[in-house]
């Protein structure tokens, strides 16, 4: 496939008052923009090709209220995106001939499934290190409408773990190696009018050339994210650039007065004749008002792919400012043919957040010129009884819990996660560390290096336009500080810089010298440290961090992981440090572990990021500890997301502003002693304790922890109530618990 580089073109901008100075002149003669108007109800859905149609890309939510839309310019879009969720047949195991249309999938062993799907929803979470890793086959029929004639048809897989072979009507479209990124295949030549048979072989067996080779989490096999049927005009935004959007947005020279906007638009001419592509990139603010229009032309021979660079300016930009103000512009890229401007258009909508940031070895992280403490969590994507086969509702619930706790950042470990979750981070203002699954070990096979590079390229290109992502993670916990490992990390760090010079690379280090070679390659250094769990005691963390800062004074340091296990059903007062690989992980120890760590972390601004391991309990089938085999129980929230552990509320007391109060050890039931210590977390300065209706006392605390030692309990059921007050003495929040003795 030939690739043509286009010239950079200066384009129209906007007036200081926000009104547009020009609109794309060639998209539709006589059509004027309606920047503040609305049409319709925010999108349309329909059923087609046996699947679910995604919202009409012609209807762009205005962001100005109750789901109104701003119509785009020109004729209807020629792009459609249909989800293929229903109607799949699945077989767990190897099958000969399953890719052929004549194969009978009504045989014994085949079952009906919907996608997203994994075959490890149960056996990868129950312990024993014996879940099935191998092949699985998926088959689905659909009827191809005549409307696709003259267009290009792509099959898009948002992820398949970990090696996928895709066939259409018995014809092999290709193979993708890697379990976390999206991939696409051009299916046009293999299509038939009428019935079509899509067959996919997915295999999650370990292979020596695809990271991760091993890790402390379960590798759920299957088509665990959505499958799409994407139809575009013959002249279209490039869908074959590592499954990227084909549009790359960046800003520079950001000030209160203006921001320079740079757009790189990749165009593919899939027709049999030469074309001149007309490209328009329109920027609208959150109210739907056009603030910039960029346009240009790109000549392409038949079958050629080219890239067009467009420059413009946005006056008085409204910045994306993290949790404080996650403001987003909406960018619409529109593509038509110069010889037929009223014909099919390809239309794509992307987010734009304007921001700038820096990281300093002594003062830490700054966003838009102001210090911002990046504190938050690591997140694994799996769910109890579902594995990785989750949807938007589960992502929404995860985000709501992270936001409720008051996090300002999230490390999405240890692999590329769903684009929908990155969208949520954009909208909620969470700063993101996104990373590839280079975990534990490598092989010397050049194919392993190439696949590591491939996965990093896919992560960056597919996620490039998310303003929330500021850091590209190139690996985690390589166990051997040898020449091959250092060479690979160096190569990946250089690749990240060449792919995206606007962000910083980072690496999560553990298990070899803190000042050795491994943490030296990325732009930023981060460390996974577990004082008080895997080593030493939790009071040692602060001294370790200060010593490392002194030893590496110019390094920009972060704490990428710290945590302790906790069972909802196991309790101890006073808590003692448990055996990490034992079956007793009292909830109370996790709380004191995190109390000590945050007390040290909040006074060390040189740490640019502080990430708890983990937000949620998650599956690790090799583990047998705590009260649940097959689970890493370091989460602040239970695996099913139904129960917040006490440590969740400790961080909420420190990070969240909405008043609340929480009585700890509420699941410690029954109580076996006549007198107990009662501990409470709150972000208010005063708390009053009553037991069985009688006042115990009122306390003040600047540390968010309130303790009443030796409180007597009666035989039977005891009613405990805490009321928290503000500085003026007004009762703001209350919590109650019942304990029996």
Neighbouring C-alpha atoms within 13 Å toward the C-beta of 8? 6
pLDDT of residue 147: 72
Hey, is 448 helix, strand or coil? helix
* 604 and 697, same domain (yes or no): no
* 342 and 443, same domain (yes or no): no
Residues 6 or more apart from 416 whose CB is under 8 A from it? Answer: 159, 180, 181, 434, 435, 436, 437, 455, 458, 459, 462, 463
Residue 13 has pLDDT above 80, yes or no: no
* 343 and 409, same domain (yes or no): no
pLDDT band at 699 (very low <50, low <70, confident <90, very high): very high
Q: Which residues are known catalytic residues?
A: 477
C-alpha 596, offset from chain centre = 29
**What is the DSSP code (8-state) at residue 56?**
P
Among 235, 259, 274, give the residue marking a domain's end.
235
Q: Which of 445, 280, 293, 264 is nearest to 347 (CA)?
A: 280
Among 192, 209, 235, give the residue marking a domain's end.
235
Hey, is 391 helix, strand or coil? coil
736/719 Cα distance (integer angstroms): 7
Please say whether the beta carbons of 24 and 295 come within 8 A. yes
Q: Which residue has the tokens 């072989």?
A: 201
pLDDT of residue 54: 52
DSSP-based helix, strand, coil % in the chain, nearest 5: 15, 40, 45
Residue 129 has pLDDT above 90, yes or no: yes
Two structure tokens written together for 466: 């998310």
pLDDT of residue 231: 96
- pLDDT, greater one: 354 or 45: 354
* 38 and 162, same domain (yes or no): no
Q: 410-425 pLDDT, tens per residue?
A: 999 999 999 999 999 9
Q: Is residue 285 situated within a structural domain?
A: yes
Q: Which of 468, 419, 417 is nearest to 616 (CA)?
A: 417
Mean pLDDT of 300-305: 98
Residue 575 has pLDDT above 90, yes or no: yes
Cα Rg of the chain (Å, integer): 27
Q: 156-175 pLDDT, tens per residue?
A: 999 999 999 999 999 999 99
Cα–Cα distance list, 208 to 409, 443, 468, 477 (Å): 33, 7, 33, 18
pLDDT of residue 52: 55
Hey, is 190 helix, strand or coil? helix
Residue 49 has pLDDT above 60, yes or no: no
Give me the percent of the chain exceeding a pLDDT of 90: 87
387/206 Cα distance (integer angstroms): 18
Q: Cα dihedral angle (82, 341, 277, 302), rounded to 10 degrees?
A: 80
Q: Is residue 72 situated within a structural domain?
A: no
* 620 and 727, same domain (yes or no): no
Q: Where are the alpha helices (DSSP H) in 347-463?
A: 392-405, 419-428, 446-463
1/596 Cα distance (integer angstroms): 58
* 562 and 529, same domain (yes or no): yes
* 704 and 641, same domain (yes or no): no
Mean pLDDT of 684-703: 98
Two structure tokens written together for 164: 């996928």
pLDDT band at 534 (very low <50, low <70, confident <90, very high): very high
Q: Is residue 382 situated within a structural domain?
A: yes
* 203 and 267, same domain (yes or no): no
pLDDT of residue 218: 98
179/436 Cα distance (integer angstroms): 10
Rounded to the nearest 5°, which phi and psi values hold at 540? -85, -10
696/153 Cα distance (integer angstroms): 71
Residues 6 or more apart from 335 whose CB is under 8 A from it? Answer: 233, 235, 236, 237, 265, 267, 277, 278, 279, 280, 345, 346, 347
Please say whether the beta carbons of 621 and 122 come within 8 A. no
Q: Is residue 291 situated within a structural domain?
A: yes
pLDDT of residue 151: 94
* 148 and 93, same domain (yes or no): yes
Q: 424-458 pLDDT, tens per residue?
A: 999 999 999 999 999 999 999 999 999 999 999 99
Identify any residues that bridge with 118 across adjacent strands, giving them in sequence order.
none
Q: Is residue 359 situated within a structural domain?
A: no
pLDDT of residue 145: 74
600/544 Cα distance (integer angstroms): 11
303/391 Cα distance (integer angstroms): 36
Q: Which of 409, 362, 724, 452 is nearest to 560 (CA)?
A: 409
Q: Is residue 135 situated within a structural domain?
A: yes
pLDDT of residue 22: 36
Is the dihedral angle over the CA atoms 363, 366, 372, 373 positive or is it negative? negative
pLDDT of residue 75: 52
Q: Please report, for the domain that includes residue 486, its CATH number.
A: 3.20.20.80
Residues 6 or more apart from 114 whose CB is under 8 A from it? Answer: 85, 86, 88
Please say whether the beta carbons of 370 and 307 come within 8 A. no
* 142 and 173, same domain (yes or no): yes
Two structure tokens written together for 232: 């575009």
458/375 Cα distance (integer angstroms): 27
Q: 173-200 pLDDT, tens per residue?
A: 999 999 999 999 999 999 998 999 999 9
Residue 718 has pLDDT above 50, yes or no: yes
* 213 and 269, same domain (yes or no): no
14/18 Cα distance (integer angstroms): 6
403/379 Cα distance (integer angstroms): 13
Helices 587-601 and 541-551 sit at what angle, rounded to 10 degrees? 40
Q: Are strands 364-367 and 370-371 parallel, antiparallel or unpaired?
A: antiparallel
Residue 5 has pLDDT above 60, yes or no: no
pLDDT of residue 243: 98
Q: Does the bond joining 670 to the residue before it have cis omega, within 30 degrees of 0?
A: yes
Residue range of the domain that includes 708: 675-740
Residue 489 has pLDDT above 80, yes or no: yes
Q: Please report, for the domain that includes residue 180, its CATH number.
A: 2.60.120.260
Over the chain, what is the mean pLDDT? 91
Q: Is residue 413 situated within a structural domain?
A: yes
Mean pLDDT of 214-237: 97
* 453 and 538, same domain (yes or no): yes
pLDDT band at 149 (very low <50, low <70, confident <90, very high): confident
pLDDT of residue 3: 35
Among 216, 235, 254, give the residue marking a domain's end.
235
Q: Is residue 412 situated within a structural domain?
A: yes
Q: Which of 455, 475, 470, 459 is nearest to 519 (CA)?
A: 475
Residue 56 has pLDDT above 90, yes or no: no
C-alpha 295, offset from chain centre = 32
Provide the domain count of the chain.
4
pLDDT of residue 120: 98
pLDDT of residue 657: 96
Neighbouring C-alpha atoms within 13 Å toward the C-beta of 541? 29
pLDDT of residue 468: 98
For residue 508, with 0-12 CB atoms within 10 Å meaning exposed, 13-18 middle and 19 or more buried, which class applies? buried
* Polymer length of the chain: 741
Residue 41 has pLDDT above 50, yes or no: no
pLDDT of residue 125: 98
Residues 6 or more apart from 613 whose CB is under 8 A from it? Answer: 377, 378, 528, 561, 562, 563, 634
């Amino acid at each position: 496939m030939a690739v043509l580089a286009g010239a950079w073109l200066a384009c129209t901008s906007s007036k200081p008052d926000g009104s547009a100075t020009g609109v794309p002149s060639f998209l539709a003669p006589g059509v004027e923009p309606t920047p503040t108007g609305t049409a319709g109800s925010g999108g349309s859905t329909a059923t087609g090709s046996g699947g679910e149609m995604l919202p009409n890309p012609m209807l762009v939510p205005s962001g100005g209220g109750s789901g109104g839309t701003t119509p785009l310019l020109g004729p209807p879009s020629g792009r459609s995106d249909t989800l293929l969720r229903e109607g799949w047949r699945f077989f767990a195991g190897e099958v000969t001939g399953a890719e052929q249309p004549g194969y009978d999938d009504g045989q014994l062993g085949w079952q009906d499934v919907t996608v997203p799907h994994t075959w490890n929803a149960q056996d990868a979470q129950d312990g024993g290190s014996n879940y099935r890793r191998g092949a699985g086959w998926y088959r689905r029929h659909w009827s191809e409408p005549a409307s696709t004639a003259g267009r290009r048809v792509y099959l898009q897989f948002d992820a398949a773990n970990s090696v996928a072979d895709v066939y259409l009507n018995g014809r092999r479209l290709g193979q993708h190696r890697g379990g976390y990124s999206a991939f696409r295949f051009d299916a046009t030549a293999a299509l038939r009018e009428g019935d079509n048979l899509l067959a996919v072989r997915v295999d999650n067996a370990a292979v020596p050339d695809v990271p991760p080779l091993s890790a402390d989490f379960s590798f759920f096999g299957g088509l665990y994210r959505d499958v799409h049927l994407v139809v575009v005009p013959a002249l279209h935004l490039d869908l074959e650039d590592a499954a990227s959007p084909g549009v790359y947005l960046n800003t520079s020279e950001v000030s209160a007065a203006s921001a320079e906007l740079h757009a790189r638009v990749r165009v593919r001419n899939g027709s049999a004749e030469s074309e001149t592509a007309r490209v328009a990139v329109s920027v609208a603010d959150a109210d739907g008002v056009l603030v910039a229009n960029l346009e240009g032309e790109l000549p392409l021979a038949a079958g050629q792919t080219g890239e067009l660079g467009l420059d413009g300016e946005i006056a008085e930009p409204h910045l994306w400012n993290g949790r404080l103000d996650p403001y987003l512009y909406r960018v619409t890229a529109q593509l038509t043919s110069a010889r037929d401007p009223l014909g099919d258009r390809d239309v794509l909508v992307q987010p734009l957040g304007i921001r700038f940031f820096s990281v300093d070895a002594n003062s830490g992280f700054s966003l838009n010129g102001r210090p911002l403490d990046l504190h938050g969590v690591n997140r694994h994507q799996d769910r109890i009884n579902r594995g990785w086969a989750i949807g938007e509702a589960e992502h929404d619930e995860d985000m709501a819990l992270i936001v409720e706790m008051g996090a300002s950042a999230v490390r999405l470990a240890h692999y590329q996660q769903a684009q929908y979750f990155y969208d949520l981070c954009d909208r909620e203002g969470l700063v993101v560390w996104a990373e590839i699954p280079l975990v534990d070990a490598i092989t010397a096979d050049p194919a392993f290096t190439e696949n590591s590079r491939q996965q990093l390229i896919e992560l960056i290109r597919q996620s490039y336009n998310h303003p929330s992502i500021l850091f590209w993670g190139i690996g985690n916990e390589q166990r051997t500080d040898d020449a091959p490992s250092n060479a690979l990390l160096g190569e990946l760090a250089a690749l990240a810089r060449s792919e995206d010079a606007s962000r910083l690379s980072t690496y999560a280090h553990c298990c070899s010298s803190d000042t050795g070679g491994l943490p030296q390659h990325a732009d930023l250094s981060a460390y996974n440290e577990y004082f008080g769990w895997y080593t030493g005691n939790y009071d040692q963390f602060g001294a370790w961090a200060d010593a490392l800062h002194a030893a590496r004074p110019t390094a920009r340091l972060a704490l990428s992981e710290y945590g302790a296990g906790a069972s909802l059903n196991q309790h101890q007062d006073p808590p003692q440090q448990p055996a990490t690989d034992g079956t007793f992980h009292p909830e109370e120890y996790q709380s004191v572990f995190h109390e000590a760590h945050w007390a040290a972390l909040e006074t060390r601004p040189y740490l640019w990021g502080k990430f708890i391991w983990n937000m949620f309990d998650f599956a690790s089938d090799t583990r047998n500890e705590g009260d649940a085999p097959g689970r890493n129980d370091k989460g602040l929230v239970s695996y099913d997301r139904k129960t917040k552990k006490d440590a969740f509320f400790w961080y909420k007391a420190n990070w969240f502003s909405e008043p609340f109060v929480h009585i700890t050890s509420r699941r410690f039931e029954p109580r076996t002693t006549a007198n107990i210590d009662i501990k409470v977390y709150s972000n208010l300065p005063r708390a009053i304790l009553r037991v069985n209706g009688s006042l115990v006392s009122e306390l003040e605390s600047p540390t968010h922890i309130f303790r009443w030692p030796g409180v007597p309990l009666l035989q039977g059921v005891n009613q405990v109530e805490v009321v928290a007050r503000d500085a003026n003495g007004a009762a703001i929040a209350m919590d109650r618990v019942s304990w029996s003795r």
